[in-house]
A and B are shown apart, each in its own frame.
Chain A
Amino acid sequence: GEDVEQSLFLSVREGDSSVINCTYTDSSSTYLYWYKQEPGAGLQLLTYIFSNMDMKQDQRLTVLLNKKDKHLSLRIADTQTGDSAIYFCAEPYNQGGKLIFGQGTELSVKP
């Protein structure tokens, strides 16, 4: 079945690292995605990782992929108040373009 799971809330202090976790079900996924959504705004593609990679780093963002456990994580270093948003992980359901989203993790960054 198609199911992507995330924890719903995460609260950190400014300057700390944030780690948002996600589990997925389809082991044949070619790419896995992280999107950021600020209140009332669109879905901003943060980063994506190809399934043959274990890690991808892009400035303050680090994505870790554990294919054996079907676990994906997003680490934000030196978290800022501007990082406060909802973060969605997503996996393709098939090659036709359907993305299955997790419930979203609301990240709250306290000064």
Chain B
Amino acid sequence: AAGVIQSPRHLIKEKRETATLKCYPIPRHDTVYWYQQGPGQDPQFLISFYEKMQSDKGSIPDRFSAQQFSDYHSELNMSSLELGDSALYFCASSLGGGFSTGELFFGEGSRLTVL
């Protein structure tokens, strides 16, 4: 079965550079979520989109922005990168905004390293 696809899987950037992560949800899923997991940490919610509209916002820095496109894929844009942004970034998808079906599937993550 198709899963959540994230790209790139690994990304190395310098401080103050910009990075863009992409997420392709499971087919027919209309909701995407972004999480950030620092080393040895639990995942922290950043932002979510349902039907191309932002549905919830968590601890996402102002330097980051995200959007969901008409084909339901999402992109997370990160600017003025800092060393502390080095983390594993997960995208998840579900059908229906929030938790209407219970199933919430995560991708394999994009590992960002900021030097």
Contact B99 A95 (CB under 8 A): yes
Q: How far is the CB of A17 from chain B (nearest CB, A)?
A: 25
Interfacial residues, chain A to chain B (CB-CB below 8 A): 30-31, 33, 35, 40-45, 48, 50, 88, 92-104
Other contacts beyond A43-B92, A45-B106, A88-B42: 8, CB < 8 A: A30-B99, A88-B43, A92-B99, A95-B99, A97-B31, A98-B56, A99-B43, A101-B42
What does DSSP make chain B's interface, helix, strand, loop or mixed? Answer: strand
Select one of B43, B56, B105, B107 contacting A97, CB under 8 A: B56
Residues of A within 8 A of B109 (CB): 41-43
Chain A, Cβ-Cβ closest to B58:
A98
Tell me which of B31, B106, B111 has the highest count of chain A C-beta atoms within 10 A of its own C-beta: B106
Answer whether A33 and B48 are a contact pair too, CB < 8 Å, given A92-B98, A104-B42. no
Chain A residues with CB under 8 Å of B99's CB are 30-31, 92, 95, 97
Contact residues in B for A102 (Cβ distance below 8 Å): 42
State the CA gap A8–B33 with chains docked (Å).
26
A95 touches B45 (CB 8 A): no
A45 to B101 Cα, complex, angstroms: 14
- Size of chain B's interface in residues, with CB distance under 8 A? 27
Q: Find the A residue at minimum CB distance from B49.
A: A97
**Which residues of the other chain, B, contact A30 by a CB distance below 8 angstroms?**
99, 102
How far does the alpha carbon of A107 sit from the alpha carbon of B42 in the complex, in Å?
15
A31, B108: Cβ atoms closer than 8 Å? no
What residues of A have a CB within 8 angstroms of the CB of B44 in the complex?
101
Q: Report the minimal beta-carbon distance from A94 to chain B, rounded to whole angstroms.
A: 7
CA distance A35 to B58 in the complex (A): 20
B94 within 8 A of A: yes
Q: By the criterion CB–CB under 8 Å, are B98 and A97 in contact?
A: yes
Interchain Cβ contacts under 8 Å between A and B, 22 examples: A30-B102, A40-B111, A41-B108, A42-B108, A43-B109, A44-B106, A45-B105, A88-B42, A92-B99, A93-B45, A96-B48, A96-B55, A96-B97, A97-B33, A97-B45, A97-B94, A97-B98, A98-B33, A98-B58, A99-B35, A99-B45, A103-B42
